[in-house]
A = this chain, B = another copy of it.
């Protein structure tokens, strides 16, 4: 992947200001909207079955997040997802908590079956449960199972015919053929709710301006991780409240030049 291409996509997000349609959970709506605004994208949240298809039509990306799902919202997700598929709009799927309850796993698999998902972003346990396979996941952060995270991501990408991002200590990004490890980021992100969900939406913003999903994903992951690193340096010692606010600041302040200098990824 051309290093300059990776870093330049951020500026395109800021120039093109893509509208990202989020059908997401009630915990992270505000943080997601503010995060997308900070990045330079334009967020919209719409859930009603009467309007989701119309909202997708004016959007550049659709983000589906099942964090506080119910049957009705899953129906809206499927409707929106099918419309996005017809129009060639990328669909980014965050299977929050898949595996925590049978209902979540079932609904996540329903979405995967009925919608052609462009990117799945989750932790190892979530992705394994979407896949429906018995993976030996001993935690959800993937920190001590990096080898299997790569294997899991590649298997999921191949079986589901999609791009997969598994976040953890390092993040894995793969289309089933080409695989990257991104080591930008900071563990304090796990102390702020919705940082995984917002990353999924940020990937949506990047995929809204760049059709090469590996390139969009690599750029989004590097950018997001660098913002976390800078936020930690500036405010991490103050506590998670200040870190959260500084992270929003950094999502606005990090530049393509920062990505060029500070991104840390490798093909594996």
Show the binding face of A for B, using Cβ within 8 Å.
25-31, 33-34, 37-38, 43-48, 50-51, 54-55, 58, 67-71, 97, 100-104, 190-194, 238-242, 244-250, 252-253
Q: Are A27 and B29 in contact (CB under 8 A)?
A: yes
Q: Are B30 and A252 in contact (CB under 8 A)?
A: no
Q: Are A30 and B71 in contact (CB under 8 A)?
A: no
Q: For the complex formed, measure the closest distance between the CB of A25 and the CB atoms of chain B, giving whole angstroms.
A: 7
Q: For the complex formed, measure the closest distance between the CB of A226 and the CB atoms of chain B, giving whole angstroms.
A: 14
Q: For the complex formed, measure the closest distance between the CB of A247 and the CB atoms of chain B, giving whole angstroms.
A: 7
Q: Which B residues are in CB contact (< 8 Å) with A191?
A: 37-38, 252
13 A-B contact pairs sorted by A residue (CB < 8 Å):
A26-B26, A27-B45, A50-B71, A51-B101, A51-B103, A54-B101, A239-B248, A240-B252, A241-B244, A241-B245, A241-B247, A241-B248, A245-B245
- Whole-angstrom distance between the alpha carbons of A130 and B248 in the complex? 34
Q: Are B45 and A69 in contact (CB under 8 A)?
A: no
CB closest residue in chain B, given A31: B30
Known: A242-B245, A248-B241. A33 touches B37 (CB 8 A): no
Q: Which B residues are in CB contact (< 8 Å) with A27?
A: 29-30, 33, 45
Q: Which B residues are in CB contact (< 8 Å) with A193?
A: 30, 33-34, 37, 43
Q: Which B residues are in CB contact (< 8 Å) with A34?
A: 192-193, 240-241, 244
- Whole-angstrom distance between the alpha carbons of A151 and B47 in the complex? 33
Q: For the complex formed, measure the closest distance between the CB of A57 and the CB atoms of chain B, giving whole angstroms.
A: 9
Which of B51, B58, B249 is in CB contact (< 8 Å) with A241?
A: B249
Known: A27-B45, A45-B26, A192-B34. A55 touches B240 (CB 8 A): no
Q: For the complex formed, measure the closest distance between the CB of A29 and the CB atoms of chain B, giving whole angstroms.
A: 4
Q: Are B44 and A71 in contact (CB under 8 A)?
A: no
- Whole-angstrom distance between the alpha carbons of A247 and B239 in the complex? 9
Known: A43-B193, A245-B241. A30 touches B33 (CB 8 A): no
Q: Are A70 and B47 in contact (CB under 8 A)?
A: yes
Which of B38, B47, B58, B104 is in CB contact (< 8 Å) with A239?
A: B38
CB closest residue in chain B, given A246: B241
Q: Which B residues are in CB contact (< 8 Å) with A31?
A: 30
